[in-house]
Copies of this chain bind each other. A is one copy, B any other.
Amino acid sequence: MDKVVNLAKRRGLVFSGSEIYGGLANSYDFGPLGVELKNNIKKLWWRMFVQERSDVVGLDSGIILSAKVWERSGHLKNFNDELVECKSCHERYKAGDLKKKVCPSCGKDEFTKTRAFNTMFKTNLGPVATPTQSPPYQGGEEEGVVYLRPETAQGIFVDFKTVQETSRQRVPFGIAQIGKVFRNEITPGNFIFRTREFEQMEIEYFVREENWKKHFDEWESEMKRWIEAVGIDKKRVKYVDVPDSERAHYSKKTIDIEFEFPFGQSELYGLAYRTDFDLKAHGLDYRDPATGDRFVPHVIEPSLGVERTVLAVLLSCYDEVAGGRTTTTAAAKEKEIVLRLPRSIAPIKAAVLPLSKKKELTEAARAIRDKLAKRFMTDYDETGSIGRRYRRQDEVGTPFCITVDFDTLNDNQVTIRERDTMEQKRLGIEEVEDYLLANL
């Protein structure tokens, strides 16, 4: 874990948010390479499950929805953590996290009674009063109260009818959404594993009740296909059937898809059969245009966290190889890092490296970079030895390095090096773009 966190920080993939102000607890920002990685993961998911499938359409609903949504969905009542407070130092804990009856902060052993703490973030919409304002702003605490969504799913449910009608989809079909959600966790932690602000990729797939098992199984296969495509080590993934007693009250079957993180096997994704609980709660139904019968569709929900995906991908793809891979000098004794990302999600697809800083070479290299950059993220690097530059690209997972040398000026050819095989190929400058597009 430390190695991945260090790499992420050193290369500006992911680092603490608001760092110059001492950081905001458990909040992380994605730097230039991190935002590319994250966007590529989201694009891959959208391509596989929205673009390619003809039975899933996309949606982008608000982060702030009507408070009634959360009342009806049951979140206002049930989206709680069990909170206890140490009577001595007033530190607060999630009750389940206290293994011993001793405060981890001060060592005393007296706690308050357990209380439900709703983990939705609350705010006020429109110009309302705050207690520090004097009259006439007497809106009161509850005026205009709204919540930041703790899941993207409810936005999908409340828009079900509009989306179904305007997209002319028929059951079975799904609605997909990617977006930020907020959960006021008592105990966030483990780098980007559990944060209060994160992104979800969710599909609500609407089916006839009698077919739920078939579709559930199909989506389990789809999750496996995804895990393979995005580069998560499938040997570290476990499919855990959640027993009756531990499932959410609305679910008749849930599979926790867990990953062997360095801090323990923990939930990566979820696949739930949510029954017709949500659509019923919102009073929505569906009329089959062919048969004319009305019913409330049942729902299969594959739910994915973007940041957890990033973390599982980094842990799966991080590799260290013996020194000397890219250089034969003394520095070669250090281990070399190779991030073996699938090409589709690598932040940089190709790096153009002039062998020296001679103007003829850098000009030729920059021209290649500018041409390729119209098609995909392309880096340009002229600083340091060529071995060092290879290492820089290897450790952020760049699949191809293109070296421009003095021969290039005569034969118009460059050397393309592949990250994993380290195979080098000599190719005409004009062929490079097509070669890369075919191999990305």
Task: Give residues in A with beta carbon < 8 Å to B.
Answer: 10-12, 15, 17-25, 27-32, 34-36, 38-39, 46-47, 51-54, 57-66, 68-69, 81, 83, 85, 87, 90, 92, 112, 115, 117, 121-127, 130-133, 136-137, 141, 146, 148, 155, 158-159, 161-163, 165-168, 180, 182, 184, 186, 196-197, 282-284, 366, 369-370, 373-374, 376-377, 380, 383
* Contacting residues, chain B, for A121 (C-beta < 8 A): 123-124
Q: A29-B59, A158-B21 are in contact. Are A54 and B380 (CB under 8 A)?
A: yes
Q: Verify B35–A58 contact, CB threshold 8 A.
A: yes
Closest to A138 in B: B90
Q: Which of B34, B90, B123 contacts A123 (CB 8 A)?
A: B123
Oligomeric state, in copies: 2
Given A54-B373, A92-B126, 19 more pairs with CB closer than 8 A: A17-B66, A18-B69, A19-B159, A21-B68, A24-B65, A24-B66, A25-B126, A27-B65, A30-B59, A32-B58, A52-B370, A62-B197, A64-B196, A81-B127, A85-B137, A90-B136, A123-B148, A127-B186, A130-B141
Q: Verify A376–B19 contact, CB threshold 8 A.
A: no
* Contacting residues, chain B, for A125 (C-beta < 8 A): 24-25, 184, 196
Q: A68-B21, A136-B85, A186-B126 are in contact. Are A15 and B57 (CB under 8 A)?
A: no
Q: A20-B282, A159-B19 are in contact. Are A29 and B64 (CB under 8 A)?
A: no
Please report the C-alpha to C-alpha distance between residue A295 and residue B300 in the assembled complex, in whole angstroms. 56
Closest to A20 in B: B158
